[in-house]
With several copies, the nearest count.
Chain A
Amino acid sequence: MRQTSYAEALNEALREEMRRDPLVFVLGEDVGRMGGLFKVTQALLEEFGPERVIDTPISEAAIAGAGVGSALVGTRPVIEFQFNDFMTIAMDQIVNHAAKLRYMTNGMVSVPLVIRAPVCGGISLGAQHSQSLESWFVHTPGLKVVMPSTPADAKGLLKSAIRDDNPVLFFEHRLLYAQTGEVPDEEHLVALGVADVKRTGTDLTLVATGRTVSLALRAAEKLSEEGIEVEVIDPRTLKPLDTHLIFQSVRKTNRLLVASDGWSACGYASEVMATVMEHCFFDLDAPIQRVCPKDVPMPVAGPLQKAVMVSEEDIVSNCRRVLAT
């Protein structure tokens, strides 16, 4: 298998799906001529032309609305937001329209729309360019939410998202774009709603998403040296959540830690905690804990950003904390 970067894998997914289905098209700011701020749409304009690779004005609300409208008439738009922070401008179209039109019409219409956006910090862009807002969308019925952690998952999940008949929010971590990994040469699909055990272990279950998966794996290696075996589960799809795999693991290890780049309050980590609590309470030997960024906006200066974001050390120390009780 080839080594491919996360960004290239996403680009391949787009290209393959656009070749397969002439109704798939891409729109967003700087996706054409420039190939996307993070190069995910690179060279698509050249291959598919300006009717299928649309450089839009800076009008996030209309872009999202155009996605909804074009999906309603049977095309399959894939929208890029340059940062997920800018989705704040398009929440009405995403939440009041994309998420609800199928339900409100009792199934008469569907909205096969994909919205891609990078999340979280790491390059000192500050509070308006570093959020990880996936939890808002997990909160909202009618949406699916995906967050891949490897190039192979990125490719396979994006292809599935494009083929899905529902609005799918697809969150990418910008620190992952350059990361490489093996991606199958042949057609590669990863089903939505299926979690993945990224590492098996017996002492503690660690549910991690996006960037925190690689931190979790490194943390697990470190703890393994001490004889502690951590099982790392990547849900890959945050909504619908593959609870089965998580419950199974917790019933084996009896301990759980959840890591997420989204804030803790009403966040994705709290949701996993609550769900496991409801279903596996008597299997737990210790309180479930979470590792999330600190409850502040993201600062710019390096040392501050580092203090706020989730780190490998945070995960290691929290694993120890869960194991100590």
Chain B
Amino acid sequence: MQDDISREDRLDWYRRMCLIRGFEEEIHNLNKAGLVQGTAHLYIGMEAIAVGACSAMNSADLLTSTHRGHGHCIARGLDTGRMMAEILGRVDGYCGGKGGSMHITDVSRGMLGADGIVGGGIPIAVGAALGVRLKGDLSVVLCFFGEGASNQGSFHESLNLAAVRRLAVVFICENNLWALSAPFAEVTAGGSVANRAGAYGIPGEKVDGNDVEAVFKAVNEAAKRARAGLGPSLLECVSYRWEGHSIFTRQEIRPAEEIQQWKQRDPINRYRARLIEAKTAASEVLGQIELQVSEQISKAIQFAKNSSLPDSETAFRNTYA
């Protein structure tokens, strides 16, 4: 990725953020219609993180994701139709309906997998970085995880291991201030995840996770460092999830005002306003993009709905290579 941001980049980022938002909103509707197989953890409100971060990736770069992974997938350019098909448990889904929302994977795009285990993907990212180095590739691995995951042992072991081996990993903590019902400060000592970088002698930085360009810049710097063989970095992107923890969640623990406040900092609206203000694009141009996005989502849903539920026989395949 280039350092300076072009108009095309900006419009593309806006498009991707809209795509994530629209995609996630539709999952709500599909769930009400009883079509989602299992659960889904929506990324609404956090779009700027995935889009900003993945925009700093080269084509050979890799990423690992979390239970809340749709945003990363879309930002990385996965096919929304196959994603939706997976969420509806259909044969044309990325995992043929076996993985569902929490396990969407597309190695052809360097997406090594969402993960149902909080903190589970972190050492896998480190391993991937170890592997690509052995293969002589210059790939960087983006490793996404929630602030809740930063209290897992795997976080600590992985940062330490990546740091002592100077591996090309960018650790991206998505601090949305809550882990299920747990408020950040109540369960996380030290007041900041970025600050934990000091324990491993690596750079740590807190970033406005609702500002796609700020995220891009921070990740791009960290990726450059990594590519130059200078080792891993830790970024804490502060944002918020607008929806309940998962589509299963009925109970809302978080204060209504807090949710309201964060909705006012909508990363998409904010970026829209900025693009218009900076005359990067007129409202109509953005409107066009929004329309295209809606169409893409409709197609994705159609694709998913047209795909059939898997035959029970497929349950017994692909346990072993």
Contacts and interface: CB of A to CB of B under 8 A. Distances in A.
Same assembly: yes
A74 B131 contact: yes
A58 interface: yes
A55 B181 contact: yes
A124 B40 CA distance: 11
Nearest to A52: B134
Contact of A62 (B106, B115, B126, B317): B126
Contacts of B228: none
Nearest to A99: B319
B256 interface: no
Contacts of B69: none
Contact of A30 (B123, B164, B182): B182
Interface stretch (B10-18, B49-57, B149-157): B149-157
A194 B188 CA distance: 43
Contacts, number: 278
Given A70-B130, A105-B99, A58 B315 contact: no
A266 B148 CA distance: 35
Contacts of A60: 152
A33 B320 contact: no
Chain A interface size, as a band, is 35 or more
A71 B127 contact: yes
A101 B149 CA distance: 20
Residue among A58, A64, A92 with max Cβ neighbours from chain B (10 Å): A58
B158 interface: yes
A102 interface: yes
Nearest to B134: A75
Given A65-B124, A69-B125, A74 B135 contact: yes
Interface in A23-50: 23, 25, 27, 29-30, 32-34, 37
B308 to A, nearest CB: 10
Residue among B89, B112, B124, B309 with max Cβ neighbours from chain A (10 Å): B124
Contacts of B129: 69
A299 interface: yes
A166 B321 contact: yes
Nearest to B100: A300
Residue among B98, B179, B310 with max Cβ neighbours from chain A (10 Å): B98
Interface string B157-172: 1101100110000000
A296 interface: yes
A64 B123 contact: yes
A48 to B, nearest CB: 11
Interface in B168-223: 179-182, 186-188
A57 B89 contact: no
Contacts of B98: 103-106, 126-127, 299-301, 304
B251 interface: yes
Given A68-B124, A300-B38, A307-B312, A62 B161 contact: yes
Contacts of B64: 69
Interface string A296-310: 110111111111100
A176 to B, nearest CB: 17
A17 interface: no
Residue among B37, B94, B123 with max Cβ neighbours from chain A (10 Å): B123
B280 interface: no
A105 B128 CA distance: 17
A128 B123 contact: no
Given A52-B134, A304-B315, A68 B153 contact: no
B81 interface: no
B97 A296 contact: no
A190 interface: no
B318 to A, nearest CB: 4
B131 A57 contact: no
6 contacts: A30-B181, A51-B134, A69-B131, A72-B127, A103-B318, A300-B38
Interface of B: 37-39, 62, 64, 89-90, 94-100, 102-103, 105-107, 112-113, 115-120, 122-135, 148-149, 151-154, 157-158, 160-161, 164-165, 179-182, 186-188, 251, 253, 309-321
Interface of A: 22-23, 25, 27, 29-30, 32-34, 37, 51-52, 54-75, 77, 85-86, 89, 92-93, 96-97, 101-110, 112, 123-129, 141-142, 144, 164-166, 294-297, 299-308
